[in-house]
Amino acid sequence: DTAVSQTPKYLVTQMGNDKSIKCEQNLGHDTMYWYKQDSKKFLKIMFSYNNKELIINETVPNRFSPKSPDKAHLNLHINSLELGDSAVYFCASSQESGNTIYFGEGSWLTVV
């Protein structure tokens, strides 16, 4: 069983489209995250939720909207996609903030 699973793994879409990435964790963790990794492998946190409550919201365009229907799921919706949104997006979870973080395999988004 995959601990943190995210779908889709690959996504190619045109500028201006709206897309969603789904994430689920079966570890029973109470904290979930979205990270963005650019082509130079630099990792930047976007959002963090604890028990469905938003606790970290970094400087991210409001075209990005996370949604946590329950503490096992954290989805990411992106409106009006731009070329600069092309990156790998990682979902992750941990048991409380500050502990070991478990990452999904990533969703490779390409905007053309």
CB closer to another protein out of 44 and 82: 44
Answer for the pair 8, 23: CB distance below 8 angstroms, yes or no: no
- The whole-angstrom distance between residue 90's C-alpha and the CA centroid of its chain comes to 5
- Return d(Cα 33, Cα 2) in angstroms, integer: 17
Out of 13, 56, 72, 86, the only residue in the binding site for another protein (CB under 8 A) is: 56
Asked if 59 is part of the footprint of another protein (rule: CB under 8 A), the reply reads: no
- Return d(Cα 84, Cα 62) in angstroms, integer: 14
Out of 45, 72, 86, 95, the only residue in the binding site for another protein (CB under 8 A) is: 45
Structure tokens at 4: 């943190």
Asked if 84 is part of the footprint of another protein (rule: CB under 8 A), the reply reads: no
Q: How many CB atoms lie within 10 A of CB 20?
A: 13
Q: Nearest 5°: CA angle at 77, between 71 and 14? A: 155
CB closer to another protein out of 70 and 96: 96
Out of 47, 49, 64, 90, the only residue in the binding site for another protein (CB under 8 A) is: 90
Asked if 1 is part of the footprint of another protein (rule: CB under 8 A), the reply reads: no
- Interacting residues toward another protein by CB under 8 A: 4, 40-43, 45, 48, 56, 90, 92, 96-106
